[in-house]
Chain A
Amino acid sequence: MSIDRRKIVTLGGIDRREFLTWSGGLVSAAFLAACDSRGPKAADRLLNYAERKNRGLERALFRHTSMDKVQRGAYDAGNKLPSYFVSDTVPAWDESARGKWALEVSGLVANPVRLSLEDLQRLPRVSNRVNHYCVEGWTAVETWTGVPFTELAKLVRVAPDAHYVDFQSFDDDYHESWDIESAMHAQTVVAYGLDGKMLEPAHGAPARVYSPVKLGYKNTKYLTKIVFMPEMNGGYWSDQGYEWYGGV
């Protein structure tokens, strides 16, 4: 194998025009590659690795004492609060077909229960005026009324090896699983009221989980089941590529 020595000298001295051509080409190539593409497929493993590491950091940063506070002077979103669901039409519980709605709380618990809406309303209640943080970047101030999640946990007596909680719904197969710390945060509620009124179907009636410590998509609406689990169970949006942790 022979090496062209002249070539090496040229490169070492860097002919300016050649250099400009090359660097310009590289930068434009980077730009072209960047144009609204998802980026190279090979990067997926690296991105997943970064997500796992970020999740570890976020869970380490989590404090039960960190509370969401609404800024002074902030207005309620009221009817400007967007309504999201994955079904084709607003999901509504059909009593004639499915019987009376009830929330099942089960899994790794000593005392699994089924709670009707009236049962939920008889449990201790809080009203939290808090921010809603959407993954899209908007926030909305609302007052959510419901049962503190910790009260439900007390009621069913959660086993010590329950590290995750799955919130399931009747909005098709929508569900999202959480780390138990976030679920046990003081501002996490199983909400049946919004802004002083009973929750409407547009926002997750009869009941939904609501917490300002999680992004909007983690807060399952149209609840049917709360299941305590030893392992995480993904989720509707998490499985499609949004961060599983989704914590704020």
Chain B
Amino acid sequence: MNVVAIIIMVGSGLRIFNAYPAFARKGEMFCCYPFEHKPIPAWLTFGGWLGGARHWHFAMMWVLVVNGLIYLAFVYLHGEWRDLVPRKGDIRDSWQMAKFYAFKRKDHPHQGKHNALQKTAYFLMPVFGLLLVLTGIAIWKPVQLAWLTALFGGYVWARYWHFVAMVVIVVLSVVHVFMVFAVDPYSLPSMFTGNYDEKLSPEARNARPFYHLFPPRARPAPPPEVT
């Protein structure tokens, strides 16, 4: 459901953006967007026309806000936020993880429930999700909630941060889905059931992207078992 809601939200948002595919206030220039006045390709958009896209956007936002709140409540009540909050050394560990994925490091860095890159990504997701919601409210009600709009630097900038946060979420989601299929397709059923077989975890398999498609001999040897 979230996948569909996010796709609709991004598509309708891009359709709304296409009505004025720029950020500049009329009579001004905008510094920080290289594609001012270049519309997004229509096949990436949803809603058909500006009014339709706005209806979808303003309806679907509630689905995502409610789901987001349920997720946050769940993560908080189950204490799973402890697996996600950034800790000292996470940046170093993320770098090691990136090196492993880039075949620059032989063995899979040791990890807890999530590896350091995952932790960073799963922490950033809700942060940018919250930013999306707040900047969205800021450009929805720039007069009635002017203080919120001002917090993001005014309407033009709030609209810009709304766009940037969307791009970040899309990139994180695409990488996330790519890695699920490339590194750990064994985890797919657990997305629905919640169960997970540790023996098939990427660390146990020393898995890199598309590891499961390599012929067995070409696979890098797993590190010796540490007892």
Contacts and interface: CB of A to CB of B under 8 A. Distances in A.
The answer to whether A binds B is yes
Interface of A: 14, 16, 19-20, 23, 27, 30-31, 34-39, 43, 46-47, 50-51, 54, 58, 61-63, 66-69, 71, 74-78, 80-82, 131-141, 212-213, 237, 240-243, 247-248
Contact of B27 (A20, A35, A78, A243): A78
A46 B20 CA distance: 27
Contacts of B49: 38, 241
B134 to A, nearest CB: 15
A51 B48 CA distance: 18
Given A37-B48, A66-B143, A137 B25 contact: no
Contacts of A37: 46, 48
A78 to B, nearest CB: 6
Given A35-B46, A47-B55, A139-B156, 7 more contacts: A16-B188, A30-B4, A37-B46, A58-B144, A213-B144, A242-B54, A248-B140
A27 B3 contact: yes
B142 interface: yes
Contact of B188 (A19, A27, A78, A135): A19
A18 B59 CA distance: 34
7 contacts: A36-B15, A36-B42, A74-B154, A75-B28, A133-B142, A138-B20, A240-B51
Nearest to B62: A50
A156 B20 CA distance: 40
Contacts of A136: 19-20, 50
Contacts, number: 143
A241 B47 CA distance: 12
The 7 closest A-B pairs by CB, nearest first: A38-B48, A50-B59, A140-B26, A136-B19, A77-B26, A137-B20, A80-B27
Contacts of A133: 142-143, 155
Interface string B141-163: 11111100000001110010000
B89 interface: no
A50 B62 CA distance: 9
Given A16-B185, A75-B25, A131 B155 contact: yes
Given A75-B28, A137-B159, A248 B52 contact: no
A47 B142 CA distance: 23
A81 B27 CA distance: 8
A36 B48 CA distance: 5
B32 to A, nearest CB: 16
Contact of A19 (B45, B54, B189): B189
A137 B58 contact: no
A77 B27 contact: yes
A80 B20 CA distance: 14
